[in-house]
Amino acid sequence: DAMVIQNPRYQVTQFGKPVTLSCSQTLNHNVMYWYQQKSSQAPKLLFHYYDKDFNNEADTPDNFQSRRPNTSFCFLDIRSPGLGDAAMYLCATSREGPGGRGYTFGSGTRLTVV
Amino acid sequence: AQKVTQAQTEISVVEKEDVTLDCVYETRDTTYYLFWYKQPPSGELVFLIRRNSFDEQNEISGRYSWNFQKSTSSFNFTITASQVVDSAVYFCALSLYGGATNKLIFGTGTLLAVQP
């Protein structure tokens, strides 16, 4: 089945130790998104790719970066995780075009910082 | 600016009760999409419904129904005869219609607890 896959499902990292979360898709969607969801809060968009065009939200900390080497994969890099970065990280994809088409979420990676 | 408000932070009901989750949105755009997502404790976001701004017809899917009223900028969600498996956080979200990318703007969510 076409889907969005996030690995790992759970990630524990040390304070200040770089960590990478991955997302892959078999939907061939042009757009990929990374959302951060802290406990008891709504998902918050960090950035998105339209093909290889990277778009950062204005309030996304510099500590967060992303790579999209090809259509299928997208990575979220946290350069120096702090305790406040503990959250669920959700990857999503959509086709280009008018809003609302084919918006598909992965199962998320729950990040713990110790 | 776009905004989604879910005023109900938590709702607790007893199984088989009907429950309505409220959603009010703000946008100056005339074309947009509205969504409801369910997030169980496992964390994944489960898509429930998408509605575009041109379609104000109410929709029913099994025990779920949605009432979209542009006049009041509301998109409310009703679960009939609730079940314990309905316990989850429910998010209402807005996506604008234009442009190549479709960012979702989420409300703060409503935690629904269905007691047996």
DSSP lists the bridge partners of residue B11 as B112
> What token pair was written down for B71?
């006049």
pLDDT of residue A54: 92
Option in A42, A88, A101 nearest B43 (CB): A88
pLDDT for B31-71, tens place per residue? 888 999 999 988 888 889 888 888 888 888 899 999 999 99
> What token pair was written down for B114?
């269905």
Q: What percent of chain A has pLDDT over 70?
A: 92
Q: How many other CB atoms are there within 10 angstroms of residue B33's CB atom?
A: 21
* Beta carbons of B97 and A98 less than 8 Å apart: yes
Q: A16 versus A100: which is more confidently predicted? A: A16
Residue A47: name the closest of A37, A58, A39, A38 by CA. Answer: A58
Option in A42, A101, A106 nearest B107 (CB): A42
Left, alpha or beta for A98 (phi > 0: left; psi -120 to 50: alpha)? beta
Cβ-in-10-Å burial (0-12, 13-18, 19+) of B66 comes to buried
Q: Give yes or no for residue A3 having a pLDDT over 80.
A: yes
**Which residues in chain B have their CB less than 8 angstroms from residue A92's CB?**
104
Contacts for B62 with CB less than 8 Å, ≥ 6 apart? none
Residue A44: name the closest of B1, B93, B5, B38 by CA. Answer: B93
**Which residues in chain B have their CB less than 8 angstroms from residue A106's CB?**
44
Helix (H, G, I), strand (E, B) or coil at A113: strand
